[in-house]
């Protein structure tokens, strides 16, 4: 039976690598995008693009979008820039999507975060990354308290390197990992109940993703 997946941030670099992985294995993927000019790129992966502005719509509207799916993946983001928009998307819209998943009865939720995210992120307030770090800390914290079957996927610095299919879950400090390997991790954790209510922090490494997760 096909798993119905709603993917926020459907035109992101990780999402465009994730979508064909999911479609190829038989999942039905609806990819949420803000810009209809990106629809063809998404459709070429086999996913179905839906234009929906997560920044503009309220919780009830997001709940209607989520309803009928089996899994929500949040890979959306403001992409840096103005702090107000970072908070609006990476914190506020993400939190609305979590509450909407609760309202819609869709229990499986996978959040894409980053290595080291949390209230103790240590980013100075005058650093350009501060707003993003604060926003992700708030969204991740809200998800952990939601009661959903959540997984937070927290990769280290992203690269455009070719996939290795191997990661390191034991690293104490952030290194780097390819976006393609991040996509593979997301695809793998979806069906793995052992990852429920876990934060998966990782670098590139030597352990095969398929040996770590059941997906």
Return the CATH number at 70. Answer: 3.40.50.720
pTM, full prediction: 0.96
CA–CA distance, 151 with 111 (Å, rounded to integer) = 6
Residue 191's alpha-carbon distances to 22, 32, 41, 165, 201, in angstroms, are: 12, 21, 26, 18, 18
Confidence (pLDDT) at 15: 98
Dump pLDDT digits (tens) for 33-74.
Answer: 999 999 999 999 999 999 999 988 999 999 999 999 999 999
111 neighbors 143 (Cβ within 8 angstroms): yes
- In this prediction, residue 79 carries a pLDDT of 73
Candidates 111, 17, 112, 31; CA nearest to 65 is 31
pLDDT tens string 104-151: 999 999 999 999 999 889 899 988 899 999 999 999 999 999 999 999
Summary mean pLDDT of the chain: 95
| pLDDT for residue 80 is more than 90 | no
With pLDDT > 90 as the criterion, what percentage of the chain qualifies?
Answer: 87
Over residues 151-157, the mean pLDDT reads: 97
Range of the domain at 131: 4-212
pLDDT-derived band at 78 (thresholds 50, 70, 90) equals confident
When pLDDT is averaged across residues 13-34 and rounded to a whole number, the result is 97
Residue in 86, 85, 84, 97 with CA at minimum distance from that of residue 54: 97
Total domains in the fold of the chain: 1
Angle between helices 94-104 and 59-66 (to 10 degrees): 60
């Amino acid at each position: 039976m096909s798993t119905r997946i709603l993917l926020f941030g459907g035109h992101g670099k990780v999402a465009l690598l994730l979508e064909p992985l999911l479609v190829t294995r038989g999942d039905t993927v609806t990819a949420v995008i803000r810009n209809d000019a990106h629809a063809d790129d998404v459709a070429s992966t086999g996913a179905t693009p839906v234009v929906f502005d997560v920044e503009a719509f309220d919780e009830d509207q997001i709940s209607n979008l989520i309803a009928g799916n089996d899994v929500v993946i949040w890979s959306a983001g403001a992409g840096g820039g103005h702090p107000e928009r970072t908070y609006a998307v990476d914190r506020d819209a993400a939190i609305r999507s979590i509450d909407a998943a609760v309202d819609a009865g869709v229990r499986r939720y996978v959040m894409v975060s980053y290595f080291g995210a949390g209230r103790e992120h240590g980013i100075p307030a005058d650093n350009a990354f501060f707003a993003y770090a604060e926003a992700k800390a708030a969204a991740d914290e809200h998800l952990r308290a939601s009661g959903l079957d959540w997984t937070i996927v927290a990769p280290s610095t992203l690269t455009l390197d070719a996939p290795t299919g191997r990661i390191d879950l034991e690293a104490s400090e952030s290194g780097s990992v390819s976006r393609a390997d991040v996509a593979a991790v997301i695809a793998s954790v979806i069906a793995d109940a052992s990852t429920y209510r876990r934060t998966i922090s990782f670098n590139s490494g030597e352990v095969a993703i398929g040996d770590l997760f059941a997906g």
